A and B are shown apart, each in its own frame.
Chain A
């Protein structure tokens, strides 16, 4: 168990999960990466329930949140997190392939800390994910009361 807070990646597409985790590794981040394949699972992870009912350890240093997910989508997850005082201060980076302005605006309105469009070019992608991960996982002090 790493002493670092984990990174929660909520992403339904396994290819993207693989590419993102690989990019995070290439950025030499040592944090554990927890993957939730949809919004409901992400919320289960954060609330330690369902499949994560027995999860111990701190809340994630940053949540990398895809907007388009089955069952509960990224917007709702973000909404629920910001509505819950216990989760409100966890940084959220919206990570999506959409360039639609409405998505960007809505995300910031819901309290996203950053927004990144996933580039098609892998090297750009790796660089973007790496930078984001580093910034939020390492440089940002985890807010108090988030456990661990």
Chain B
């Protein structure tokens, strides 16, 4: 059973592409996640590295500043003036040393005090900030200071550095608080005896002012802590140098972040992610840096240089990565969606195409009236439909694979018709042939075939489509029609000959038939003249009958000739005033007089007609003659003429009289030639007038009929054309 065209089976699509797509998506997701994690690590690493290097940079800057001060201290302690003074003890040598210190102080405004103490702690020289040498009277004894105690432990060339401290003067921190870092060394003379202490007080703020090379952002991140966890520079303003006042200021780091501080104490360098951000630190032991850690006795004295990457920036780096990945993900998803969508569309189009191809194939296959089949470029059959099987008698299995010349009879193959068809279709795209072909059973049929070349988009020949119609029956019908036409033509010729013979007959009749009648009449008359007197009355009546009969026969011949003429003459229609034509016919008829009773005429309006005027005059002359004749015996003869429209809208002309009428059962004989309904002795006439009227009306495409009853008058009706528009002239004059 063939599947119905409207319910094709749904073709199940392959499932594997969907599974493949899913697997690909999973792999892509895994790769993508891995990539994201990797990138995240990279970002974290680079952030950490950046912070590390930043802290390293801070540390190096700090270290350089410290070293600069330490170098200045060594140069002063080892200066010529001081050396000479130690050897000579002369004041001018000390003045030279002081002069050198003044020079240094002028160069370094951060050096608030440069002083030299003797072993007893008594200031021998002091230069205040800006190179102001203090007069001897104002010099103080500093022996009670911690740094003096610490400096006693230093060997030659060793330098000690105090922690950041407030400049305490006279037991009280100097105000405003100025955290100060002290660099100190012990002076030894050439013999190696200790001879006092050289000390440079350096403003911590100025020292760290070296960080002024940093940009504001770097500076903002910079954190400096002392070994006890107090802030030298912190996050908030309160943490900046907040430790200046002992016991004052904000909380130490040990207090504010107890988790972090032990780690900083334990590890010289490190990083820790805290709530406030990434904290990166490095510990600097200044004493060790300047070359005298053992002598300082303050192993735990260190600074912490740190950088704090704010949590917001830390997060921002990741959120930027995340948003990049999000954008990339969305783009990828969109791309994948677009690819998937187009793939799905393509698949659907292919399915629709397959379906339409399938439908087309089914339609072609099921066509039975046409043989439709495909040929390859060489003319070998590659497809075969039901019509081909029906018309040619070969099954698909028999036909496919064979050359299509199989369907041509021997003479056509010899005439190379199949090849010509192929060449024609190749050359012009299409070739057509009609002729006898053979079925499988050898019977012939008349085929009308079209061969169409099929080419692909690039014009390459794919093959041919051949559509063949079995036109045997039409061919037979055409032959019959041609035969009928030939018959018709022959009959027309025969009719033409008959017509010519008829005309010849009419001509000779008018001459040869009338002559004897004339003679009969003439000689009867002569006989009457010659022997009339000797004849009896009866004899003379016989002669009268002979003459009358001859005259009557002559009239019959004349009428018959006229009748035949009516049928033969060419009809010339024109626009006619019907009323005027009828009026003229009445006048020409001279129906008054001759002792007749006057006729009462009643004339209606007839309008205009499109007809042959000569023939129409003949119609009315006959109808009028007829009406006048049969009212001849009426006491009040009355004739009515008019027109009326019938139910179909057709104009019907009529003439009605109150004459003797006729029996309707003979109405069918009324219009026949020589048919008369009355005896000749009642009403004269040859019986040809109404036959003429009938003939003329029919030639005009009209109808004529009559109504009557014996003694009740008669009415004749006629129309002129079955088609009302034919009554109109083709063009208005």
Query: Is A19 on the interface with B (CB-CB < 8 A)?
Result: yes
**Residues of chain A lying within 8 A (CB to CB) of residue B512:** 68
Is A120 touching B550 in the complex (CB atoms < 8 A)?
A: yes
Query: Complex Cα distance A46/B511, Å?
Result: 26
Residue in A closest to B513 when the chains form the complex, CB atoms: A97
Determine which of A22, A97, A100, A123 lies in contact with B515 in the assembled complex, contact meaning CB atoms within 8 Å: A97
When distances are taken between beta carbons in the complex, the residues of chain B under 8 Å from A120 are: 514, 517-518, 521, 550-551, 554
Query: Closest B-chain residue to A22, C-beta based?
Result: B526
Closest Cβ of chain A: how far from B502's Cβ, in Å?
13
A141 touches B (CB below 8 Å): no
The one of B519, B523, B558 in contact with A99, judged by C-beta atoms closer than 8 angstroms, is B558
**B486-518 contacts to A (CB < 8 Å):** 506-507, 510-512, 514-515, 517-518
Residue B727 lies at the interface, judged by CB distance under 8 Å to chain A: no
Q: Is the CB of B518 within 8 A of A125?
A: yes
A13 lies within 8 A of B515 (CB): yes
**Is there an interface contact between B511 and A68, defined as CB atoms closer than 8 Å?**
yes
A99, B510: Cβ atoms under 8 Å?
Answer: yes
**In the complex, chain A residues whose CB is within 8 Å of the CB of B506:** 100
B interface, CB within 8 angstroms of A = 506-507, 510-512, 514-515, 517-519, 521-526, 547, 550-551, 554, 558, 561
> Are A123's CB and B525's CB within 8 A?
yes
Query: What is the bound-complex CA distance between A96 and B519, given in angstroms?
Result: 13
A119 to B561, CA, bound (A): 16
Within 8 Å by CB of B510, from A19, A97, A121, lies A97
Considering the complex, give the chain A residue whose CB is closest to the CB of B528.
Answer: A122
Partner of B561 from the list A13, A22, A99, A121 (CB cut-off 8 Å) is: A99
Residues of B within 8 A of A123 (CB): 525
What is the bound-complex CA distance between A122 and B526, given in angstroms? Answer: 9
Q: Does the CB pair A118–B518 fall under 8 Å?
A: yes
Q: Which of these, A15, A16, A118, A121, contacts B551 with CB under 8 Å?
A: A121
Main secondary structure on B side of the interface with A: helix
Q: Does A37 contact B (CB under 8 A)?
A: no
CB distance from B612 to the nearest CB of A (A): 17
Q: 9 closest pairs, A vs B, by CB?
A: A122-B525, A120-B554, A15-B519, A122-B522, A97-B514, A19-B522, A120-B518, A97-B511, A98-B511
- Check B515–A122 contact: CB distance below 8 A: no
* A to B CB contacts below 8 Å, 15 in the list: A19-B519, A22-B526, A96-B511, A97-B515, A98-B507, A99-B510, A99-B558, A99-B561, A100-B507, A100-B510, A120-B518, A120-B550, A120-B551, A121-B521, A125-B522
A-B contact count (CB 8 A): 56
Query: Which residues of A does B touch, CB under 8 Å?
Result: 13, 15-16, 19, 22, 68, 96-100, 118-123, 125
Contact between A97 and B526 (Cβ–Cβ < 8 Å)? Answer: no
Chain B residues contacting A119 (CB-CB under 8 Å) are 518
Docked Cα-Cα span, A50 to B511, in Å, equals: 29
- A16–B525 contact, CB under 8 A? no
Closest B residue to A26 by beta carbon equals B529
Q: Chain B residues with Cβ under 8 A from A22's Cβ?
A: 526
From A19, A96, A98, A122, name the one whose CB has the most chain B CB atoms within 10 angstroms: A122
A125 to chain B, nearest CB (A): 6
B430 → A minimal CB distance (Å): 60
Q: Complex formed: what's the CA distance from A87 to B514 in Å?
A: 31
Could you tell me the distance in whole angstroms from the C-beta of A118 to the nearest C-beta in chain B? 6
Residues of B within 8 A of A16 (CB): 515, 518-519
- Report Cα–Cα, A69/B5, bound state, in Å: 88
A99 CA / B565 CA spacing, docked (Å)? 12
A122 B521 Cβ-Cβ under 8 A? yes
**Min distance, Cβ A48 to any Cβ of chain B, angstroms:** 30
Which residues in A have their C-beta under 8 angstroms from that of B525? 122-123
Q: Give every chain A residue within 8 A of B523 (Cβ-Cβ).
A: 15, 19
Q: Nearest-CB distance from B260 to chain A (Å)? A: 148
Q: How far is the CA of A120 from the CA of B550 in the complex (A)?
A: 8
Give A99 to B515 CA distance when docked, in angstroms: 12
CB-CB under 8 A from A99, the residues of chain B are: 510, 558, 561
Chain A nearest CB, measured from B482 CB (Å): 38
Q: How far is the CA of A97 from the CA of B512 in the complex (A)?
A: 8
The reply to whether A97 and B561 form a contact with Cβ atoms under 8 Å apart is no
Which residue of chain A lies nearest to B514 when distances are taken between CB atoms in the complex? A97
Cα–Cα distance between A96 and B508 once the two chains are bound (Å):
12
Residue contact B510 to A15, C-beta cutoff 8 Å: no
B565 to chain A, nearest CB (A): 9
Residue of B nearest to A119 (CB): B518
Residues of A contacting B551 in the complex (Cβ-Cβ under 8 angstroms): 120-121
What's the minimum C-beta distance from A18 to chain B, rounded to whole angstroms? 8
List chain A residues, Cβ under 8 A from B518. Answer: 16, 19, 97, 118-120, 122, 125
Shortest beta-carbon distance from B29 to chain A in Å: 114
Q: CA separation between A15 and B550, bound complex, in Å?
A: 15
For the complex, give the distance between the alpha carbons of A95 and B515 in Å. 12
Cross-chain contact A15 with B522 (CB below 8 angstroms): yes
Q: Which A residues lie within 8 Å of B524 (CB)? A: 122
